Each structure stands twice: as C-alpha cells, then as structure tokens.
C-alpha cells in the first residue's frame, strides 16, 4: 500500500512548522495537519522573546512580525526589590509570525491541511496511519507537535515528559489603560502570589499591554491567582480604569522536561515534548525534521534511528533544561522573605556584567559566585532550597 506522504506532522506549533520546513528542505513529502481553521488563527498567546534565543535556530528575526522592541526586563521580588537586566527583547504579533512561517512552508511545498483534527495514530505493517476529521492518512513517520495537552502522544503509548504534573497553568490577558504600553522593560514578578513561576507585565506600546499569571501545582484553573495579580498590578501602577480586551488560557511546559520523545515511526516535538518556548520549540523542530528526513532517505524509521533526534536535542539542551527546572524548583520552595533576600543581593549591581556571555551554565555559575562573594551568609541561606531542589 502506498502512503499519502513520507512524514505527517500534527500541529502547526513553532516546533511542527520548523520540523516541516527542515524535512521539506531535504525533498521529503510532508503533510501538516492543523485543527484550527487557519494557521495562527486564533493566535497562541506566546508573543515575547529575547535576543540570543533564536541564535541556535535558522530564524532571522523579521520586522514583519515584530510589534515592539524592548530594552530589557526587570525581575521584581514580593517586597518590590528589582533586578534590572538590559537585554534586547521583542513583542511580536503572533498571528503575523505564524502566517510568515506558513508562507515559508508553502515555498517548501509542504501540503498544509487546516481545519483537520487528528484523532488517533495507528501503527499498521510498515506504515503509520493517522485517523482525522477528514479521513485517514498514512505515512512512514508521524511527528506529534500538537502542544501542551498532547493526548496523541499518550494514545501512541508515549510518556513524552518526565514531570507532566509540573505544567505551569496560565492566564494571559490583553489589557488597555492610559499609557500602560509605554515602558520599555518587561516586568516579571516572583513570589507566593504566583506559586511555582511568575506574574508578567508586557507593555505592547501605547495603551496596550499583556498581563499574565503562570502557576504550578495549584490546578488548571488559575483565575483566582490572576484576579489577585490584576488587583496588585492596578494598585502598584496606580491604575483605576483598566479594560480587559481578551483572556487566553493555556499551559507552559517550562519545568516538565522531555522524556520519551521517540518510538518506532513516531517523534514528539515542542510543548508536547516538554520543550517550552517559541525559539526552543523551533530548534527542537529543526533537529526533529532533519533526523526524520534522514530516516526516510535511508528507509530506516526504527526507534533506534529516530533516537538520533533525542541524542542531538539532549546534547544541545539537556543541561540547560535541568538547570532551569532546578532553579524553578528552588524558587517554588522559597518563602517571600527568601526571595526578597535573594533579589536584594543584586541591589546596585551591574547585572549584565555579572551574567556576562556564554552558555546558560557558565552564566548561572557567575551569578552564584557573585552571590557568595557579595553576602556569603545571605547567599548560603538560599542554598538549602537549592539543594532540596536537587541542583
């Protein structure tokens, strides 16, 4: 029996799109299934990133989708202490971003089927079948890139993340108020009002901004945390008249850590595989698509062959993801006073100089060294939480 394509990709996520382009560049036939009626419509709420995040991808940031360039970020402790990091960042129009990449897929002859939801994946003989709302498709390999609530990986018998209970459930609202979009730094608030991760303020220019809350281990409905964050934000910024335009809900797999992301003829990428973040998802998709293309060319779609994707991903990212999880776990276990003390260590310091350049591990090492030199007792008081978190 013939197949409809060499590779079927489920989900036009950043990872799915990048996997499609990377495979198609090797002349592989691709069908991409997306259940939304149009790519990026409605858009995913993820719409910010910083310089350097795309360095490992083939993406060159394009003005077509950049809404606003930012000067940096401020991390704010429960008592209001601030760490200011000057590092260029971007707010993007996520719909335009996705449409820009959809055009790139079309240039690469990817067969995009929108409005088609995949229901199940069945391995049959040497092929794999995907049953969908538009009939059954078959291919040699399926790449699952269907986002955070990846029920298809589970149906295929995979456990793609190590800590699935650690998704940060989120609400992000587009809001409007006088001048709320004008500051040129993102603000990230940490503390017990956003347990396990953060509350965010992303000024989008003029009178528009996004306010978000990301919470781990307190259930999927985080609206009570969002309401508290909104009240706190209005008080802090002295805003009485704030209009909520639209609310998005979702999950960020920031601390879930990739686990079993390949099987015979199946690969998982992006949020579905615990690879959080737009740029990180795109790089994972590129690796995944390249390995899938090689497997098609060599007619070897076994788990052993496809594991090349997992190995390459781990080489580039494993220690970075583990470090990120450990830091988040340490923070989750700190009380507000610990966090204030930690942020206080950086008062008056040139944070950019401390962080320096290099790998995330070398940056983390320099930060730890600074903390120990500056106030050994305070820095050491944070270490029990860090040790508990398993660093």
Report the nearest approach of ligand FAD to the CB of residue 136 (Å).
13
Q: How is 254-293 classified by DSSP, letter by letter?
A: TTT-B---EETTEEE-GGGGT--SHHHHHHHHHHHHHHHH
Retrieve residue 22's tokens: 């990377």
**Cis link prior to 347 (omega < 30° from 0)?**
no
Residues binding ligand FAD: what is the number (CB under 6 A)? 36
Dist. CA 214–CA 216, nearest whole Å? 7
Residue 268 vs 334, nearer CB to ligand FAD: 268
Residue 203 vs 281, nearer CB to ligand FAD: 281
Q: Is 321 in the site for ligand FAD (CB under 6 A)?
A: no
Question: Which residue, judged by CB position, is nearest to ligand FAD in the bound state?
Answer: 271
Retrieve residue 285's tokens: 């998709």
Tell me which of 160, 251, 274, 289 binds ligand FAD, using CB under 6 A.
251
Tell me which of 43, 89, 212, 258 binds ligand FAD, using CB under 6 A.
212
Q: Is 292 in the site for ligand FAD (CB under 6 A)?
A: no
**Order of strands, edge to edge, in the sheet holding 66-76?**
48-50, 82-92, 66-76, 185-189, 198-203, 208-216, 168-176, 243-252
Tell me which of 95, 123, 218, 248 binds ligand FAD, using CB under 6 A.
248
Dist. CA 255–CA 155, nearest whole Å? 23
Report the nearest approach of ligand FAD to the CB of residue 202 (Å).
7
Report the nearest approach of ligand FAD to the CB of residue 121 (Å).
10
- Cα distances (angstroms) measured from residue 194 to each of 171, 215, 228, 294, 386: 11, 6, 9, 44, 19
Residue 32 vs 296, nearer CB to ligand FAD: 32
The interface with ligand FAD within residues 49-88 (CB under 6 A) comprises 49
Helices 336-344, 376-388: axis angle to 10 degrees equals 130
Report the nearest approach of ligand FAD to the CB of residue 130 (Å).
9
The interface with ligand FAD within residues 269-288 (CB under 6 A) comprises 270-271, 276-278, 281
Report the nearest approach of ligand FAD to the CB of residue 117 (Å).
4
Report the nearest approach of ligand FAD to the CB of residue 47 (Å).
5
From 196, 212, 202, select the one nearest 256 (Cα to Cα). 196
Q: Is 43 in the site for ligand FAD (CB under 6 A)?
A: no
Report the nearest approach of ligand FAD to the CB of residue 362 (Å).
22
Tell me which of 23, 48, 153, 290 binds ligand FAD, using CB under 6 A.
48
Q: Is 14 in the site for ligand FAD (CB under 6 A)?
A: yes
Retrieve residue 260's tokens: 């079993």
Residue ranges of alpha helices (H) inside the chain are 14-24, 94-107, 151-155, 223-236, 278-297, 303-333, 336-344, 351-355, 360-374, 376-388
Report the nearest approach of ligand FAD to the CB of residue 340 (Å).
26
- Cα distances (angstroms) measured from residue 78 to each of 29, 31, 133, 199, 340: 52, 48, 48, 11, 6
From 214, 285, 298, select the one nearest 255 (Cα to Cα). 214
Residue 98 vs 329, nearer CB to ligand FAD: 98
Report the nearest approach of ligand FAD to the CB of residue 149 (Å).
8
Contact assessment for residue 221 and residue 227, using Cβ atoms and an 8 Å cutoff:
no
Q: Would you give the end-to-end CA distance of the chain in angstroms? A: 51
Report the nearest approach of ligand FAD to the CB of residue 324 (Å).
13
Tell me which of 61, 71, 117, 389 binds ligand FAD, using CB under 6 A.
117
Contact assessment for residue 233 and residue 209, using Cβ atoms and an 8 Å cutoff:
no
Beta 198-203 vs 141-144: how paired, if at all?
unpaired
Q: Is 324 in the site for ligand FAD (CB under 6 A)?
A: no
Q: Is 33 in the site for ligand FAD (CB under 6 A)?
A: yes
> Footprint of ligand FAD on this chain (CB under 6 A)?
10-15, 33-36, 44-49, 117-118, 145-148, 152, 170, 172, 212, 248, 250-252, 270-271, 276-278, 281
């Amino acid at each position: 029996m013939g197949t409809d394509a060499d590779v079927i990709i489920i989900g036009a996520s950043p990872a799915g799109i990048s996997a499609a382009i990377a495979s198609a560049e090797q002349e592989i036939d691709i069908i991409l299934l997306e259940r939304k009626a149009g790519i990026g419509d409605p858009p995913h709420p993820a719409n910010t990133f910083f310089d350097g995040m795309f360095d490992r991808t083939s993406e060159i940031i394009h003005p077509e989708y950049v809404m606003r360039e930012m000067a940096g970020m401020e991390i704010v402790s429960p008592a209001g202490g601030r760490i200011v990091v000057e590092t260029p960042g971007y707010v993007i129009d996520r719909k335009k971003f996705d449409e820009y990449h959809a055009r790139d897929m079309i240039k690469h002859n990817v067969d995009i089927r929108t409005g088609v939801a995949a229901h199940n994946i069945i391995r049959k003989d040497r092929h794999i079948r995907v049953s969908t709302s538009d009939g059954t498709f078959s291919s040699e390999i399926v790449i699952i890139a269907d986002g955070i609530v990846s029920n298809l990986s589970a149906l295929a018998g995979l456990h793609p993340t190590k800590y699935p209970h650690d998704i940060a459930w989120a609400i992000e609202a587009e809001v409007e108020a006088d001048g709320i979009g004008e500051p040129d730094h993102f603000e990230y608030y940490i503390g017990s009002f956003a347990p396990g991760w953060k509350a965010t303020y992303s000024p989008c220019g003029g009178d528009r901004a996004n306010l978000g809350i990301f919470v781990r281990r307190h259930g999927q409905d985080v609206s009570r945390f969002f309401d508290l964050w909104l009240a706190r934000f209005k008080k802090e910024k002295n805003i009485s008249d704030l209009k909520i335009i639209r609310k998005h809900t979702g999950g960020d797999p920031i601390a879930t850590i990739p686990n079993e992301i390949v099987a015979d003829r199946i690969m998982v990428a992006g949020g579905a595989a615990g690879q959080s973040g737009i740029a990180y998802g795109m790089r994972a998709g590129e690796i995944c698509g390249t390995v899938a293309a090689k497997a098609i060319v060599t007619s070897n779609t076994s788990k052993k062959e496809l594991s090349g994707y997992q190995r390459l991903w781990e080489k580039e990212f494993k220690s970075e993801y583990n470090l990120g999880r450990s830091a988040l776990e340490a923070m989750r276990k700190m009380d507000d006073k610990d966090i204030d003390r930690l942020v206080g260590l950086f008062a008056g310091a040139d944070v950019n100089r401390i962080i320096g350049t290099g790998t995330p591990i070398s940056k983390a090492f320099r930060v730890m060294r600074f903390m120990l030199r500056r106030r050994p007792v305070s820095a050491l008081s944070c270490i029990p939480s860090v040790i508990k978190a398993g660093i």
